[in-house]
């Protein structure tokens, strides 16, 4: 058999594998959507609205600036909260990695924070802060700060001692040590932390807006609940889901570009 003929079945197999993979992603959503649509035929719209009505509402939100600005406000709050928590958490993690005393002091506090429910932070924020934005920013930071800190700390502690020693042998300045060694070494863990916290933040922001805001997806959900508009509730929820999916896709793209140096085994897990 020639090389060319040997390659043909491989290509066919690849195509089939791709098809199976695409199907495995689409099929679960198609089944859920199908069941929902069937249910909409037998139940009133305030319980199971038709998917057409839901997507129509989705489209209305996207094309109506008054409504879409609420989506953008929520996204802005998520990103601001995550950025605040990440920067604070990274600073804490560096201090904890450098000093055992700081680690022993901050670790129990952050562990304590992890045990406080998001809703409690919402109540504390309403009592402590007057403005809506400071309240939400505070809630977002407090709920994601411990995870960011511990994830960056773990990445710093897990860096290769051999590589660190090698870079140190060239006597780098602190800035160059960070740029050439520390940041590339911990970047995979940072991106994972962002992926995990993005999901958490999108859930928390809705609760925060539901209770303490006059705009945003959470606030709009409250409005839909008051008029029993299930199609609206789903449409607003989907806006947030779309955002999380897009953000995750962007993070995955960054991973694929930034970590192209990684060896890929022909045998997967």
Partner 1 sequence: MTTAMPLINLTQVSKSFGKVGAGSAYVAVDRLDLQVNQGQMLALLGKTGCGKSTIFNMIAGLTEPTSGTVTVDGRNPFREFDSFRGKMAIVFQNDRLLPWRTAIGNVELGLEMLDIPQQQRRATATRWLHTLGLRGHENDYPHALSGGMRQRVSIARAFATDANILLCDEPFSALDEMTGRTLRAEFVKLVKENGKTAVFITHSINEALEIGDRIVVLKRPANIAVDLPLTAMTTAAEKESIRSEIQGVLAA
Residue 137 burial (CB count, 10 A): 20
Nearest-approach distance from CB 260 to partner 1, in angstroms: 8
For residue 261, the minimal CB distance to partner 1 (Å) is: 4
Residues of this chain that interact with partner 1 (CB under 8 A) are 162-163, 165-173, 176, 180-181, 184-185, 259-263
Closest approach, Cβ 166 to partner 1, in A, equals: 4
Written as one string, the DSSP assignment of 138-159 is: HHHHHHHHHHHHHHHHHHHHTS
Q: Is 214 in a helix, a strand, or coil?
A: coil
Q: Using the minimum distance from each CB to partner 1, give the nearer residue, 227 or 263.
A: 263
3-state SS, one letter per residue, for 87-113: HHHHHHHHHHHHCHHHHHHHHHHHHHH
Which is nearer to partner 1, 260 or 267 (by Cβ)? 260
Give SS3 for 41: helix
Q: How far is the CB of 176 from partner 1 (least distance, A)?
A: 6
The nearer residue to partner 1, 130 or 260, going by C-beta atoms, is 260
Q: Specify the residue, 100 or 174, whose C-beta has the smaller distance to partner 1.
A: 174
- Whether the CA torsion 230, 231, 232, 237 is positive or negative: it is positive
**Least separation in angstroms between CB 245 and partner 1:** 28
SS3 state of residue 185: helix
Taking the least distance from each CB to partner 1, the nearer of 184 and 215 is 184
What CA–CA distance (Å, rounded) separates 243 from 217? 12
Q: How far apart are CA 55 and CA 74, in angstroms?
A: 20
**Please, what sign has the CA dihedral across residues 217, 221, 224, 230?**
positive
The answer to whether the CB of 51 falls within 8 A of the CB of 33 is yes
Smallest distance from the beta carbon of 251 to partner 1, in angstroms? 17
Nearer to partner 1, 172 or 215 (CB): 172
Q: Which CB atom, from 52 or from 166, has the smaller least distance to partner 1?
A: 166
Provide, rounded to whole angstroms, the least separation between the CB of residue 184 and partner 1: 5
- Using DSSP's 3-state secondary structure scheme, residue 45 falls into coil
Rg (CA), the chain: 24
């Amino acid at each position: 058999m020639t090389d060319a003929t040997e390659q043909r079945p491989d290509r066919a197999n690849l195509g089939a594998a791709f098809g199976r993979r695409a199907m495995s992603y689409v099929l679960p959503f198609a089944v859920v959507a199908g069941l929902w649509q069937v249910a909409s035929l037998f139940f009133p719209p305030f319980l199971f609205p038709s998917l057409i009505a839901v997507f129509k509402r989705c489209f209305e939100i996207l094309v109506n600036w008054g409504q879409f600005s609420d989506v953008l406000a929520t996204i802005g709050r998520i990103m601001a909260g995550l950025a605040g928590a990440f920067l604070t958490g990274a600073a804490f993690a560096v201090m904890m990695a450098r000093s055992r005393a700081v680690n022993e002091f901050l670790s129990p506090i952050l562990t304590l924070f992890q045990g406080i429910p998001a809703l409690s932070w919402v109540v504390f924020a309403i009592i402590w802060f007057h403005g809506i934005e400071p309240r939400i920013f505070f809630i977002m930071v407090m709920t994601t700060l411990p995870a960011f800190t511990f994830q960056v700390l773990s990445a710093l502690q897990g860096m290769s001692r051999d590589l660190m020693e090698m870079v140190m042998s060239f006597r780098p300045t602190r800035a160059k040590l960070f740029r050439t060694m520390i940041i590339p070494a911990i970047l995979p863990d940072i991106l994972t932390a962002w992926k995990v916290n993005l999901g958490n933040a999108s859930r928390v922001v809705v609760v925060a807006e539901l209770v303490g805001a006059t705009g945003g997806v959470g606030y709009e959900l409250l409005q839909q609940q008051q008029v029993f508009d299930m199609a609206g509730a789903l449409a607003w929820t989907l806006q947030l889901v779309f955002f999380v999916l897009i953000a995750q896709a962007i993070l995955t793209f960054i991973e694929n570009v930034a970590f192209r140096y990684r060896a890929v085994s022909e045998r997967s897990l």
